[in-house]
Amino acid sequence: MNDALLSQTQGAPAVLEARGLGKSVTDSTGTLTILHDVDFSIARGETVAIVGASGSGKSTLLSLLAGLDTPTTGTVRVGGEDLFALDEDARAALRARSMGFVFQNFQLMGNLTAIENVMLPLELAGRRDARKLAAQMLERVGLGQRLSHYPKLLSGGEQQRVALARAFVVEPAVLLADEPTGSLDFATGEAVMRLIMDLNREFGTTLMMVTHDRSIAAQCNRAITIAAGAVVQDSSTAL
């Protein structure tokens, strides 16, 4: 890690930690190790790319960090709280208050309009101003004229902007993104990445993003490279 990055993160509390994290699955053919002894700590405000070849364990790692899957060994701490010391309901509550998610295939509710999709996490949190906040967030991502449109009437880039609005509207401490430009053409993907980075700075979010694209990873200030289920490099991307 270079001096500039050290100055940003030194002494900052870790918002996300993996400690001895491993995942194995067993069937009639034997045991397959997907992740092995993964260790890292992410400071508040960092932007981190998880990179590696297909099948290296990147998406499994992201699922474990979110508490959507359970590890075979080790644990994850979010804001100092041991994710797997919590029961399933408590993990869901922690995700709702601390995490935002962006997926390659958008994961929008097809029966809800753009504004209803963005309102959903706010309503689950009991916010009475959900519609107002959702409208403001959609305006921020350039979709102020698409509030009543259903996902099937939106382009891929517009659907991902709705997904970004939904993720950021709750002002999460951590944003987890899985190949957020993977379903988009090059120009649209570049525009979405600029928006992700801009929103991340505005909201002071800690970004952790899975990508196979080194040019996208280079936009983050740190890259963690996974190969055969293990961390093989963890370094600043700064030149």
Asked if the model's pLDDT at residue 11 lies above 70, the reply is no
Task: Report all structural domains of the chain as residue ranges with CATH numbers, in order of start.
Answer: 44-59+87-235 (3.40.50.300)
- Express as a percent the part of the chain with pLDDT over 90: 81
Percentages (nearest 5) of helix, strand, coil residues in the chain:
35, 30, 35
Cα separations (Å) of 53 from 7, 108, 227, 229? Answer: 31, 27, 7, 10
Q: How far apart are CA 93 and CA 107, in angstroms?
A: 19
17-35: pLDDT as tens digits: 999 999 999 988 889 999 9
Integer Cα distance of 15 and 100 in angstroms: 14
The mean pLDDT value of the chain amounts to 90
pTM for the structure as a whole: 0.88
By three-state DSSP, how is residue 21 classified?
Answer: strand
Tokens of 20: 């001895």
Query: CB of 95 within 8 A of CB of 67?
Result: yes
Range in 22-26, 52-56, 85-89, 134-138 the model is least confident about: 52-56
Separation of alpha carbons 99 and 210, rounded Å: 15
Instruction: Assign 5 a pLDDT band (cuts: 50, 70, 90).
Output: very low
**Cα separation, 81 vs 75, whole angstroms:** 10
Please tell me the number of Cα atoms within 13 Å of 235 on its side-chain side. 7
Q: How confident is the model at residue 12 (pLDDT cuts 50, 70, 90)?
A: low
Q: Give the residue-averaged pLDDT of 115-133.
A: 95
> Does residue 214 have a pLDDT over 90?
no
User: What digits encode the pLDDT tens for the residues 74-89?
Assistant: 999 999 999 999 999 9
148-199 pLDDT, tens digit each: 999 999 999 999 999 999 999 999 999 999 999 999 999 999 999 999 999 9
Over residues 93-110, mean pLDDT: 93
